[in-house]
Amino acid sequence: MLAHRAGDEVIASSAGTEPTGQVDPHVVQVLTEAGVPLEDAYPKPLTDEVVRAADIVITMGCGDACPVIPGHRYLAWRIADPDGTPIAAVRNIREALDTRITALLDSLPGS
């Protein structure tokens, strides 16, 4: 969602500490409803290299499993895990993320 909303202004990567073989079907549905293209989306592992390349690292409940690199800005977004969640709840998760993304984009230099 961040990459979609920010366009060329931000480079966003998505990764997880325990990625599965595919993006959750409810997540695909609610992001498609919001116009977020997912053609190239697939679960990727969160590695030290991914974190080192970031200016801002947004975590969503990974706790001690997330790599921590000194000198990086970390944001902990407490968001429910959509796995096994009814579609209506996944839509609520999407909206919560969208609100946080809006605030993040508004806080970046040049916004």
pLDDT digit string, tens, across residues 34-72? 999 888 888 888 888 888 989 999 988 887 788 888 888
Q: Cβ distance 16 to 43 under 8 Å?
A: yes
Maximal C-alpha separation, the chain:
39
Q: Which domains, and CATH codes, for the chain?
A: 2-107 (3.40.50.2300)
pLDDT at 110 over 80: no
pLDDT at 101 over 90: yes
Beta bridge partners of 57: 74
pTM of this prediction?
0.85
- Position 35: which residue type? G
Both structure tokens of 15: 């990764």
1-13 mean pLDDT:
88
